[in-house]
Copies of this chain bind each other. A is one copy, B any other.
Amino acid sequence: MRGNSEDQLPDLREGFCTSYHRGVELIGRRWNGVILRELLLGARRFSEIRRGIPALTDRMLASRLRELEAEGIVTRVVYDETPVRVEYELTEMGRDLEQAVAALNRWASRWLPED
């Protein structure tokens, strides 16, 4: 069997585009995919994200969250309580990644065996 017919994929047919290229590498950058999946489940405190992802250090998580904030995908919300509570949540742009993350999740659970 050969690859898919070109007719089936109209929205892939526009040739190379920098936005797709940036998007796919942003999602795939080390740890971003799992951080996004965690935040798609709802707003999370720093320590809650950490707990959900073994092997991710505080330093790396802080750096990734800053990058995702700069990209407009994550927002940091400070609740003025005592003690102050800080949560990370997805912006509209971030929540819109739900379909892509769910599709990758399904693909991975189908094809990549757990270690």
Q: Output the least CB separation between A111 and chain B (Å).
A: 5
Query: Hey, which chain B residues are within 8 Å of A101, CB to CB?
Result: 12, 24
Number of copies: 2
CB of B95 within 8 A of CB of A111, answer no
A87 to B10, CA, bound (A): 22
Q: Can you name 30 A-B pairs with beta carbons within 8 Å?
A: A2-B89, A3-B40, A4-B40, A4-B98, A5-B42, A6-B42, A9-B41, A11-B105, A16-B53, A16-B54, A17-B114, A18-B115, A19-B108, A19-B113, A20-B33, A20-B105, A20-B108, A20-B109, A21-B33, A22-B112, A24-B34, A25-B28, A26-B28, A27-B27, A27-B104, A28-B28, A28-B32, A28-B33, A99-B106, A103-B103
